[in-house]
Structure 1
């Protein structure tokens, strides 16, 4: 069996692509570690849960904000590109049957999501640089395609479609957690599997819960999002905090999102990265 180092530093011209993909998984993990931590803290103290954009703003406001944001921009962009490679070149062999196309559609949505997050990190980076590293500003409402759809009169149906996609993603995450389907793509050492497997399963389940809540918020409020300001992860966490025993659910979800962050970092280390044929570089 090849070692972890051999997998991370392959002796071929695709090593730079594999390293970029791993950096992307690590960046995603870093974001969810921050989101999970603040969600857990919000369950026991006055404060608000945050989403991935808020996590980037925390990074921007840190002592090494500019440098960390520059790394996050590159890593998140690399992750978006890796998702596109997974979609269009089918390097994980999902196939073209209904299940395979469903998985690849989800990966495509993920590509756009993390591409948008990389763009947002870029705006924070430019703002931090222009202010001498003083941190980025807050983001505006969720505009763009959804807002345009509402202006054209079909925003409600688009919102319902997104809600259905969120619900489907939740089901996929639950199945992936229950069957430990991620192990097919990861080479977790046997002596660490007893700990890392349940952590990954817990993280995927918590992520599924946020998808379910977002889907519910979207479906019940679709007619009211005339501005295109549809709910995201932060709204889902706020909704959970308002449930009976919401502090308990929010704290568990926060821990779960931390676990999802760990899962992403584990993917950065142990995932089998299959690359298409590309010209050698260097």
Structure 2
């Protein structure tokens, strides 16, 4: 009990909360840039940039003040990973929310490490498409690996559907403290959250479908990361306008992360 009490006290500390807010803002910036790159892809003007974390990091690094900004982002994401990890370990929330916190903690920690490696001379991070294909190939080379890949794809689809439901039902609003906002302000934040969260779920579910297809066909090349998944929307009957709509949703998810940075519930 004493360990849990100290953990919850640490999660409520001002320094960790502020660092976590920086982490939310860092996520928001990356998704805004990814959305922008996706817009460029839709209009044939991407210049070869990947619409994923690797592409976003390179865009930031190439601009004035990009390196210091990335150091701040890495520190914020590390703080957010710690904050989410504490909530997963000793938080009073339901099991599903604690599992979600644990997943977010891992993702933020990986991104913080990726940024740090990039800044310390590790070179440009590998695209998520290449990472997805490589990991899929490694798993499918193992006994029963094909079933593991299929299960991972199904899991991503399930999470994507859950996020779509969470967006439509506005369950994400439980993570926000909007009491001090006007009615119009709350409506704006909730609208951004619904559209952004739904798009995030849609893209995640689509990526899961590609991984499931890779398992079914025993073809690692079917697996796609964020860039490949986004580009696939342009290949649908709706064509590039579908990618434009999804790109807007990705950017709105980035805006929602900034809302979390400002109004996340302690």
TM range (shorter): 0.7 to 0.9
Q: CA deviation at 1:198?
A: 0.9
Q: Which runs of 5+ in 2 are unaligned?
A: 1-10
Distance across 2 between alignment mates of 1:77 and 1:44: 35
CA distance in 2, matches of 1:230, 1:238: 13
- Asked if the contact 2:54/2:124 (under 8 Å) is kept, the reply is no
More relative contact order, 1 or 2 (CA 8 Å, 6+ apart): 1
Tell me whether 1:193 sits opposite 2:193 in the alignment. Answer: no
Secondary structure, aligned partner of 1:272? coil
Cα contact 1:51–1:234 (8 A) shared by 2: yes
1:153-206 deviations in Å (ceiling 9; x for gaps)? 333222112212211211221111111112222122134012221111000111
Alignment of 1:239-254 (within 5 A): 239-254=232-247
CA RMSD of aligned residues (A): 2.4
Aligned residues: 246
* TM-score normalized by the length of structure 2: 0.84
Please tell me whether residue 142 in structure 1 is matched to residue 131 in structure 2: yes
Q: Give the alignment of 1:55-74 within 5 angstroms.
A: 55-74=56-75
The TM-score with structure 1 as length reference comes to: 0.79
* Separation in structure 1 between the aligned mates of residue 106 and residue 136 of structure 2, nearest angstrom: 14
List per-residue Cα deviations over 1:184-242 (Å, max 9, x = no partner): 2212213401222111100011111101210110111122229xx94211111011111
- Corresponding residue for residue 220 of structure 1: 213
Instruction: Pick one of 181, 187, 208 that aligns with 2:201.
Output: 208
Runs of 4+ aligned residues of structure 1 deviating over 6 Å after TM superposition are: none
Aligned equivalent of 1:17: 16
- Asked if residue 113 in structure 1 is aligned to residue 102 in structure 2, the reply is no
**CA apart distance, 1:261:** 0.5
Q: Deviations over 1:63-118 (max 9, x none)?
A: 22221111111111122222212211124x12xxxxx34x4333323222221111
Task: Judge conservation of contact 2:28–2:257 (CA < 8 Å) in 1.
Answer: yes
Counterpart CA distance in 1 for 2:86 and 2:106 is: 13
CA contact 1:60–1:124 (8 Å) conserved in 2: no
SS in 1 for 2:131: coil
CA drift of 1:13 comes to 7.7
Quote the Cα distance in structure 1 between the aligned partners of 2:144 and 2:23: 34
> CA 1:216–1:256 in structure 2 vs 1: closer, same or farther (change >3 Å)?
same
How many Å apart are 1:145 and its aligned residue? 6.4
Paired residues of 2:154 and 2:209 also in contact (CA < 8 A) = no
Q: Is the 8 A contact 1:203 1:257 kept in 2?
A: yes
1:1-282 counterparts in 2 under 5 A?
14-47=13-46, 50-91=51-92, 93-94=93-94, 100-101=95-96, 103-127=97-121, 136-139=123-126, 141-142=130-131, 148-188=138-178, 189-191=181-183, 192-222=185-215, 223-225=218-220, 230-273=223-266
The structure carrying a bigger helix percent of its residues is 2
Structure 1: gaps spanning 5 or more residues: 1-11, 95-99, 129-135, 274-282
CA distance in 2, matches of 1:77, 1:159: 28
1:18 Cα deviation (Å)? 0.9
Give distance in 2, aligned partners of 1:45 and 1:262.
24
Give per-residue Cα distances to partners, 1:246-278, cap 9 Å, x unaligned.
2111101111011101101001101112xxxxx
